[in-house]
Structure 1
Amino acid sequence: MMPNATDAIPLLAALLAQPAERQRLIARYLRGDMDAGMLAAFEERLLDDAGLLDEVETEKVLRQGLRESPQALAATTTHRWQLPLSIAASGLFGALLTYALMSAPPAAPGAQRIAVAQLPATRGDAIPADAEITLDASARQIVLRVPATNEAGPFRLRIRDGATLLGSFDDLKPDDSGQFDVLVALPTPATTRLTLDLEAWRDGSWRQRPTRTLQLRRP
C-alpha cells in the first residue's frame, strides 16, 4: 500500500517543529527527494502555512542565486516575497548572512517534547551496535532516523518496548541519504530499551534484517 498524506502528517508536524529538521525538509522538498506520502503532506501544509511557504520561496531564491550571480540574486523576486534592500546592497555574502539571521524559525510551542535520534549505519548484514540516547525530560515523542540496508526495498519496520508494539511502519522508502524517518510516542519510564525489527522486500518475499536495540534514558 502506498503511503498517503494522512499517514505522513504526524511525522511532518514533528519534524517541522524542530528548526534544523524544518530546514532539512525544505531542502528535501526542493531537491525533489520526498516520498509520495511526505510530499503530499508537505504540499498540503504549504497551502495553509504562509510562513512555511515563505521559507520555501526564500530557499529557492537563494539556491537560484548561488547558481547565477549576486546581481541575479539581488534582483530576484517572487509573487509573494521580495528580497530586502540590504540584500541588494551587499551582494551574495550579505544575502546569505541576512537570510541566516532572519530565516531561523522560532521554536514552536511544545517543540522540546519531540526528540530526533540518528541511529548508526552498519555494513552488509553486520549486527548493529546497541545505541544509547539521552532525552530531554519533557520529550514525549521521538523521530528515529533509521539507515536502510543497501537494497531497493521497500522496507517495513516494527518498534517494540519489550512485548509492547510502539509502531508499525510499512512500505518505507529511504530518502537520498539512504535512511527513513519514523515517529513514535515514547514510553514513560526513565529508562527504556527499544527493539527495531527491519525487513526488506527482496526476490518476492520479506527478508529479516539484523535487529537493532536502542536504549533511551531521561535525566
Structure 2
Amino acid sequence: MKSYRTMCKKTWAVILAIACHLPAAWATNANEIELIPKPVHVEQTSGNFRLSPKSTIGYDAALQGQAEYLQQVLGQSTGWDLKLKKDARKATILLTLNPEKVDKPEGYRLDVTPKGISLTGRDAGGIFYGIQTLLQLFPPQVYSDKRQHGVEWIAPAVTIYDAPNRPWRGMMLDVARYFYDKEFVKKYIDMMAMYKLNKLQFHLIDDSGWRLEIKKYPRLTEVG
C-alpha cells in the first residue's frame, strides 16, 4: 500500500509539473496565441504590452479581492509591488464590472494594447477567470513563486471574449485513501483555477476511515 501511495503521489507531481508549462501564450506558431481552455473569441492585434514597476492596477470597489490576487501573483514573480487604485477610471491594468457589456455569468472581455489592459466582467467570477487568461499571455515564469530575473514581462496585444458553456466544471481529489499534504492540495486548487475549473469534489471520507479531524467530535478519528 505504501509503495502504491508513493507511486500515486509521484504521478500527480509529474502531471502538475507538466501542466505548469502548458499555459504559455507564446505558442509554436508565432502568429497564433494558444490559451487553455480556448476562449470563445480571440483576435490578435498589433504590438505588445509591457509590464513595468510603475504599472498600476485599478479596480471597482467590489473587485478588491481580485485586484489583490493579481497584485500578489505578479509581485511574487516580478518582484514588483504594483500600486492598487480603488475606483480608478484610469490605470495600467483596469478591472471593472459591466453586466451590459458581458452578458453571460463568469464571462469577461479582455483588451490588451501597448498602452494598457482593460478587463471587464459580468461578475467577480468573470474577472477572476479573465485574470487567469491574462496570466497565460505573459511568459510562463509569471507562475513562479520566486522573483525571476532577466525576464521581459510582455504580453501580446489581443482582444478576447470568453464565457463558460458549462456551469459545473470540476475535479475530484481523493484523500480518503491517499494522503496529500496541505501544500499539494493548495497547488491542486491553484491548477484548477488556472484552467477555469470551478468545483472541487474533496473526497474526505470512505469506509477505510474518517480523515478530517473535528475537535467537537473526537471519536470520528479515534474510531475511524
TM interval, shorter chain, is under 0.3
The TM-score with structure 1 as length reference comes to 0.23
TM, length-normalised to structure 2: 0.23
- Report which structure shows greater RCO (CA 8 Å, sep ≥6): 2
Q: Which structure carries more helix by proportion? A: 1
